[in-house]
Amino acid sequence: MTIKVGDRIPSAKLMQATAEGPKEVTTEEFFGGRTVVLFGVPGAFTPTCSAKHLPGFVAQADALKAKGVDAIACMAVNDVFVMGAWGKDQGVGEKVIMLADGSAAFTKALGLELDLTARGLGVRSQRFALVAKDGVVTHLAVEAPGAFEVSSAEAVLAAL
């Protein structure tokens, strides 16, 4: 079942790419007591994700924070080293936190998995963006397959 507005973010462990190296983080500690924008992408270094999705959130980080967002995170079903390298490649700095859901456990708990096994990519995340306040979803936008409209930084900013 797909998560919806009003639902609590499910309990899971993710890996965060930091300057000091990989760090395990629970969803309870990550989402608790603050407003978080989380956007999910099918994969690091993929065309739309690298050309539009992640750069949009980097560019709009200050505007999102001005609207009360405490943290912006990008998540993909990739390992933490890939997410760290992608963040460096994209110059995210402190603007976007790079989260790895290497086994897709959190993505599946959200009900937002996308099976791309037939294309050689395994189980990935659908393209989406959500806003959570103290661990409760207040906004959710899931893209139609192949689309990039409702989960952009600009669309999230307009929804705040």
Enumerate the active-site residues: 49
Helix (H) or strand (E) holding 13: strand 13-18
Task: Compute the Cα dihedral for 115, 87, 148, 67 and give only its sign.
Answer: positive
Question: The tokens 């998560």 sit on which residue?
Answer: 3
The tokens for 109 are 């708990």
- Strands 128-133 vs 136-142: parallel, antiparallel or unpaired: antiparallel
E strands present in 20-110: 21-26, 35-41, 71-76, 97-100
Tokens read off for 107: 């993505």
Task: Return the structure tokens found at 146.
Answer: 């192949």
Q: Are 95 and 72 in contact (CB under 8 A)?
A: yes
